């Protein structure tokens, strides 16, 4: 009897949750139920279809055709790749004036690091460790994009990556799950604000779910295989953070997860995302990733489309497997009406949450773009964001900052180059509006400036390589002169000058999607230029633009100073001038380890312990190391110099023991011991001395960016509670184990001071 009642109860719960509803019907539920009761199967499937008319940049082979007819027939749920109030109004009119049920469309886009005001690439922004700034860049992007009629963004990209061969590291926040989670939250807050219905907020999409950053061999779209422990402890936390911050949408990844492609992976999309994490938005595929399951060998288009829907995917990007096969699968009993209803409801809910049912034109106001997009204020934010994302890697004899009256030889293929300042994934930005380094230095020094420019080298001399990189326009422009003639010109200039500033690195499309590299060194053309410049014995400053960590062993020896600027965005030149001349004191810290050579990859600070660690960098037989390179990286996670110096006191602990309900405060006194004001990112790492599973040698658990005037001191406090000590176990529970923990506080993951605390039973 009891058993039967239990069964009935289970049935009721199952029925309710299958319909995606709770027993407390909200206004939204009622509205959508009523609407769905009028929808045909075709119209419901239509909502699951995301198309692109091809006005933007298609990242796969396909673009959608017959857009107008499809919208009128109710075969489209959303569009991406069109922008501007006029075009978006036209498309929305087709939906709300010409389709039977007048259901408004979603308008999406990839606004990855700014809309038209392009900020530094995300990897660069992450090096600011400045959550307020990152949120502000996302807020500015949302203001601009919504002014242009958009309401949905395919960002933040939160893929953890430890492999700089993978070009898409440029789009994310680097290698650390804790920092990555903080950044994910800041970006969701920035895009979505507090009210999704307001006309200046965008629905955000956290992507690519999941594990995309672990593509084998750093080759894009490649397979992934990893333990659940690593997933939970390293790769999944930023997704969880975005979901807890209320992100509206999740995008699946191209790779497989445990043998099943993410877009058809029920464990990932339903068990974990819905049942465990309680995500209540909708899931969109990546570009044709449903269709790609055919190539993964999971069946024909009909089979993989049904698999994806049943796994928990709600919207199909571009591939139209849903549109063309789901009805057939329903008729053949390969999926249920409930599967279609569930996905359709989630799309309609997103539209409801955006306020599109009460006003489908709420984001469309022809007067907004001019007032909102690319203003003096947004450019100012971009300039500030860029300066704050730069990392000073080397500065011998305080060569930097430079005095403005120095005679500067400004040399290099990226020194007077507009095409590469924005970086990858800046689809709505106009490279021609960016400030070159030459312009920036001239702006800063006025008309009498002693700045003279020579290109010195091509980004690469290889025409075949250039052709592959130049798919979106000229990024590598091979000069008519011979490489030697260019070097000769640069050398003449260098010899006449007090100091050489060489702006070198990667073209913007040498990183990003489908831009994996097996060598992460500078191209030969630039290596030769740097050698020649170093031979002049003039002080040599490298301004390094890149979308990924590079192997720079030789260049580090040859240069006196290196300023890493990533791809800095639209205000590149002005921001670089601000830092080179000391108007802004650099404060960025690396969020991805720089290896010595590509053979060390994957290399990351929070690697697990081995049974045979080697102590230091000396080779030790039968220990875990290499014959030909030390284990240590070139530059560690968290590393970055300043024009001033900071001193750390010893750690002060509020107590040495805590139980699981208590907290300990760990503090240090930080002093600016140099002559100029500056900011320091104080970092807290923890190591669990004894654990039931192997563990990272240390893990970031807190950070604070502190501004100090020259000579000033400040106490910096970190609170350590059970969450900072806990980790995921084999049974996926998140808990801490009693024992001793080493607390490290310092200026980067390598240079720290430490103390020990104990968690009691």
| Dist CA 337 CA 45 (whole Å) | 11
- Residue 674 dihedral angles phi and psi, to the nearest 5°: -100, -160
**DSSP-derived secondary structure for 314-345:** -BEESS-HHHHHHHHHHHTTSS-HHHHHHHHH
Structure tokens at 114: 């700014």
The whole-angstrom separation of Cα 73 and Cα 51 is 14
- Label residues 636-668 b or e (16+ Cβ within 10 Å = b): bbbbbbbbbebebeebebeeeebeeeeebebbb
Q: Is 4 buried (19+), middle (13-18) or exposed (0-12) by CB count in 10 A? A: exposed
Q: Give the list of residues 6+ apart from residue 373 with CB closer than 8 angstroms, or none.
A: 115, 116, 117, 144, 147, 148
Q: Write down the least CB distance from residue 287 to ligand BGC, Å.
A: 4
- Pairing of the two strands 699-708 and 739-746: unpaired
* Spatial separation of the C-alpha atoms in residues 243 and 210, rounded to whole Å: 13
Task: Output the CA–CA distances (angstroms, integers) from residue 129 to 16, 322, 725, in the order listed.
Answer: 43, 41, 22
* Burial of 463: CB neighbours in 10 Å, binned 0-12, 13-18, 19+: exposed
Q: How many CB atoms lie within 10 A of CB 2?
A: 6
Per-residue tokens: 752: 């720290």
Residues in contact with ligand BGC by CB under 6 A are 59, 110, 154, 207, 286-287, 513
Shortest distance in whole angstroms from residue 504 CB to ligand BGC:
28
CA 9 to chain centre: 44
Closest CA to 94 of 107, 108, 112: 107
Q: What is the 3-state secondary structure (H, E, C) of 156-192?
A: CECCCCCCCCCHHHHHCCCCCHHHHHHHHHHHHHHHH
Which residues is 7 bridged to in the sheet? none
Confirm whether 286 is a catalytic residue.
yes
Q: Is 230 exposed, middle or buried (0-12, 13-18, 19+ CB in 10 A)?
A: middle
Q: Which DSSP state fits 271?
A: I
148, 159, 176, 286: the catalytic one is: 286
The distance of closest approach from Cβ of residue 152 to ligand BGC in the complex, given in angstroms and rounded to an integer, is 11
Residues 6+ apart with CB under 8 A from 646: 670, 671, 672, 673, 674, 678, 680, 708, 747
* Residue 500: Cβ within 10 Å count: 27
Indicate the residue among 251 and 579 with the shorter CB distance to ligand BGC.
251
- Least distance to ligand BGC from the beta carbon of 214, Å? 15
- Catalytic residue positions, numbered: 286
């Amino acid at each position: 009897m009891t058993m039967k009642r239990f069964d009935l109860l289970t049935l009721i719960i199952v029925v309710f949750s299958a319909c995606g509803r709770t027993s407390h019907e909200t206004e939204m539920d009622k509205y959508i139920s009523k609407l769905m009761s009028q929808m045909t199967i075709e119209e419901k499937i239509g909502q699951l279809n995301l198309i692109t008319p091809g006005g933007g940049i298609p990242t796969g082979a396909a673009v959608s055709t017959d857009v107008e007819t499809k919208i009128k027939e109710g075969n489209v749920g959303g569009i991406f790749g069109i922008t501007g109030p006029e075009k978006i109004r036209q498309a929305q009119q087709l939906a709300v004036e010409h389709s039977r049920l007048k259901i408004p469309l979603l308008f999406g886009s990839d606004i990855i690091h700014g809309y038209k005001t392009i900020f530094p690439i995300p990897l660069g922004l992450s090096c600011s460790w400045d959550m307020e700034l990152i949120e502000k860049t996302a807020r500015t992007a949302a203001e601009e994009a919504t002014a242009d009629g958009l309401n949905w963004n395919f960002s933040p990209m939160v893929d953890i990556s430890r492999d700089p061969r993978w070009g898409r590291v440029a789009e994310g926040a680097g290698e650390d799950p804790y920092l990555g989670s903080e950044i994910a939250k800041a970006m969701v807050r920035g895009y979505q604000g507090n009210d999704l219905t307001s006309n200046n907020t965008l629905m955000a999409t956290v992507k690519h779910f999941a594990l995309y950053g672990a593509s084998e061999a750093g080759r894009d779209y490649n397979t992934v295989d990893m333990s659940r422990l690593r997933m939970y402890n390293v790769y999944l936390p930023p997704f969880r953070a975005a979901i807890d911050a209320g992100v509206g949408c999740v995008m699946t990844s191209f790779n497989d997860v445990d043998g099943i492609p993410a877009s058809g992976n029920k464990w990932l999309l339903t068990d974990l995302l819905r049942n465990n994490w309680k995500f209540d938005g909708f899931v969109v595929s990546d570009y044709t990733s449903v269709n790609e399951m055919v190539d993964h060998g999971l069946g024909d288009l009909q089979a993989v489309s049904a698999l994806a829907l049943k796994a928990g995917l709600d919207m199909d990007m571009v591939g139209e497997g849903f549109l063309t096969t789901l009805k057939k699968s329903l008729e053949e009993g390969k999926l249920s009406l409930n599967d279609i209803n569930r996905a359709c409801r989630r799309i309609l809910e997103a539209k409801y949450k955006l306020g599109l049912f009460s006003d489908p034109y709420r984001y469309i106001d022809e007067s907004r773009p001019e007032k909102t997009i690319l203003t003096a204020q947004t450019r100012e934010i971009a300039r500030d964001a860029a300066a704050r994302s730069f990392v000073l890697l080397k500065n011998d004899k305080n060569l930097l900052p430079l005095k403005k009256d120095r005679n500067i030889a400004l040399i290099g293929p990226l020194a007077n180059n507009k095409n590469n300042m924005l970086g990858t994934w800046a689809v709505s930005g106009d490279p021609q509006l960016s400030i070159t380094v030459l312009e920036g230095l001239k702006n800063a020094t006025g008309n009498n400036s002693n700045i003279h420019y020579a290109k010195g080298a091509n980004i690469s001399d290889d025409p075949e390589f250039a052709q592959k990189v130049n798919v979106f326009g000229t990024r590598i422009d091979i000069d008519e002169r011979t490489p030697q003639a260019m070097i000769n010109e640069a050398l003449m200039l260098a010899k006449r000058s007090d100091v050489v500033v060489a702006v070198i690195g990667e073209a913007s499309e040498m990183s990003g999607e489908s831009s994996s590299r097996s060598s992460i060194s500078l191209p030969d053309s630039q290596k030769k230029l740097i050698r020649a410049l170093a031979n002049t014995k003039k002080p040599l400053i490298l301004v390094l633009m890149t979308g990924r960590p590079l192997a720079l062993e030789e260049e580090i020896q040859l240069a006196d100073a290196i300023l890493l600027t990533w791809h800095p965005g639209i205000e590149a030149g002005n921001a670089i001038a601000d830092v080179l001349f000391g108007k802004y004191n650099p404060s960025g810290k690396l969020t991805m380890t720089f290896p010595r050579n590509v053979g060390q990859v994957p290399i990351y600070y929070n690697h697990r312990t081995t049974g045979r660690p080697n102590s230091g960098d000396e080779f030790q037989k039968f220990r875990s190391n290499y014959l030909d390179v030390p284990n240590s990286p070139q530059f560690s996670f968290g590393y970055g110099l300043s024009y001033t110096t900071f001193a750390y006191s010893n750690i002060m602990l509020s107590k040495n023991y805590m139980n699981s309900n208590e907290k300990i405060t760990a503090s240090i006194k930080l002093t600016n011991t140099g002559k100029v004001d500056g900011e320091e990112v104080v970092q807290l790492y923890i190591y669990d001395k004894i654990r039931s599973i192997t563990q990272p040698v240390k893990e970031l658990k807190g950070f604070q960016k502190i501004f100090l005037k020259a000579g000033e001191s400040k106490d910096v406090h970190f609170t350590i509670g059970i969450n900072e000590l806990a980790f995921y176990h084999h049974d996926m529970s998140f808990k801490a184990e009693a024992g001793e923990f080493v607390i490290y506080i310092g200026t980067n993951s390598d240079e720290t001071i430490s103390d020990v605390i104990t968690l009691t039973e």
